[in-house]
Amino acid sequence: MRWFPSLAAAAAVAIGLSAASEPEKPAAAPGSQPAAPVVVSQKNKVFNPELLVIKQGDSVLFRNDDPVTHNVFSRTEGSLFNLKMQQPGQEDVVTFQLPGEVTVRCAIHPSMKLTIQVEEE
Amino acid sequence: MNRATRTAGLGGLLGAIALAAFGAQAVEPPLRERAQAFVRPQGIPHPADNAGSGARIELGRTLFFDPRLSASGTVSCGTCHNPAFDWGDGLALGVGHGMKQLERRTPTILNLAWGEAFFWDGRATSLEEQALGPIQAQGEMNMPLEKLVEKLGSIAEYAPLFEAAYPGESISARTVAKALAAFERTVVSGEAPFDRWVEGDEHALDAAALRGFDLFTGKAQCATCHQGWRFTDDSFYDIGIEGNDLGRGALLPDVEVTRHAFKTPTLRNVDRRAPYMHNGSEPDLEAVIALYDRGGRVKRPSLSPEIKPLGLSDDEKHDLLAFLRTLTSSTPPAALPMMPR
């Protein structure tokens, strides 16, 4: 697993909030620049983008840009996750380890539909 | 396995700073600007694999009101979804096969052509999928699909109706579902005073109703969920009503926010559709407004964060009610079809 802290994560630390789980540090190659997670916004009860193509091992940052709570989850086998209640402004990072198509939904707002295609590295 | 890590975003931080600087009350856009989110659509959407032809809609209308779709021969879709009651039944809880009371209130079928998820818990993702549920449910119409097809096949005048609607496809559960869905998509609420105001008629709403619209889209935050011209976001919330019914939580047991969560109902013709909520617990709109004003009655972990005390005055509650009453159309109920014999 790879973990790359984002600018937003740094901001969270700056205001004194700690992450819910300790991120696993990557064994980055000397001199290599870690890739930032791809950002998926939740705005007006829609995912933006609604289709995302990433590489195996890439991370996605789910950001709630709405004034309402969201609950992003996936029941795709091998890529199960549940971000639970995401308050306005909250961000969560998920790393996708297995190749394939991942179906992502908001448990509150079924009109929010996101497909992530995870390509083999 | 995936690893999720949670942070409070920069946006939230900036938002908090902005609120501190400018006060907790956000500045709302003018009413006319807010009205643009409630403009009625042109035309009815039908899926490509079930285009809404006249023959399909007529077949669906006939099936919808035919009690022979039930095991007892006495319960049609229209028994509970009665057009004279704005496509509901006016009861707190539905009544099904053998006059047995059901666990949830009958929802109206108004404006489902634009729906995202169907049933109170959203377990069906299309009207075609939804249509066969109550027919088969033992507590409702109690009709196994194979018997349904057999029964319809024994009614001579049905065959030409199916052939006209779905040429070469024969009478099947699939064509029954498609015809019912095609008809249901045509069940659309008529123009109400609020629509005339949205279109520019300044006299369509009185001062109390306009203040109510201001509250609806502002302080009372109703439009957070009752959004758009249908006044629903097709989404699921625990609004703090007593009861053990898990609602959408039964479908997603590992997602806490879905426990006791039910679909946001439309508010079209709402003042004609008492009692209210998934279990009929609120006898009138005054009770509904009081429930929301106190932020729900049951505080539990699944309670939607959108449900919180509103601090409405009596005058504001009156104005909200005045606004809600402008959502009712005066369209007469649909005519009943002749039944095939």
Q: Longest Cα pair distance anywhere in chain A, in angstroms?
A: 44
Beta carbons of B8 and A107 less than 8 Å apart: no
Specify the pLDDT at position A3: 32
Residue B134 to residue B109: CA distance in whole angstroms = 13
- pTM value > 0.80: yes
Set of chain A residues whose Cβ sits within 8 Å of the Cβ of B15: 88-89
pLDDT in tens, B46-88: 999 999 999 999 999 999 999 999 999 999 999 999 999 999 9
Beta carbons of B13 and A11 less than 8 Å apart: yes
Q: Left (φ > 0), alpha (ψ -120 to 50) or beta: where does B166 sit?
A: beta
Whether the predicted pLDDT of A113 surpasses 70: yes
Tokens of B234: 């097709």
Specify the pLDDT at position B27: 66
B1 touches chain A (CB under 8 A): yes
pLDDT in tens, B186-209: 999 999 999 999 999 999 999 999
Residue A34 to residue B236: CA distance in whole angstroms = 38
Q: Is 2.60.40.650 the CATH number for B29-41+190-327?
A: no
The domain covering A36-119 belongs, at the CATH homologous superfamily level, to Cupredoxins -  blue copper proteins (2.60.40.420)
Whether the predicted pLDDT of B255 surpasses 80: yes
Domain boundaries, chain A: 36-119
Reduced to 3 states (helix: H, G, I; strand: E, B; else coil), residue B285 is helix
Specify the pLDDT at position B5: 59
B3, B27, B307: best to mutate for the A interface, most A CBs within 10 A: B3
Helix ranges (DSSP H) in chain B: 10-22, 31-35, 54-64, 77-80, 127-136, 145-153, 158-165, 173-184, 193-198, 207-216, 285-293, 314-324
Whether the predicted pLDDT of B39 surpasses 80: yes
pLDDT in tens, B101-118: 999 999 999 999 999 999
d(CA A69, nearest CA chain B) in Å:
7
Residue B269 to residue B272: CA distance in whole angstroms = 6
Architecture per CATH, B48-184: Orthogonal Bundle (1.10)
Beta carbons of B8 and A89 less than 8 Å apart: yes
Beta carbons of B7 and A67 less than 8 Å apart: no
Beta carbons of B7 and A82 less than 8 Å apart: no
Domain boundaries, chain B: 29-41+190-327, 48-184
Specify the pLDDT at position B13: 41
Determine which one of B33, B58, B140, B191 is catalytic: B140
Residue B67 to residue B79: CA distance in whole angstroms = 8
Percent over 90 (pLDDT), chain B: 90
Residue B158 to residue B143: CA distance in whole angstroms = 18
Can B140 be counted among the known catalytic residues? yes
pLDDT in tens, B106-158: 999 999 999 999 999 999 999 999 999 999 999 999 999 999 999 999 999 99
DSSP assignment letter at B204: S
Q: What does pLDDT average to over chain B? A: 93
Q: Tokens 């088969």 correspond to what residue?
A: B136
- Bridge partners of residue A114, in order along the sequence: A104
> What is the DSSP track for A52-63?
EEEETT-EEEEE
pLDDT in tens, A37-92: 999 999 999 999 999 999 999 999 999 999 999 999 999 999 999 999 999 999 99
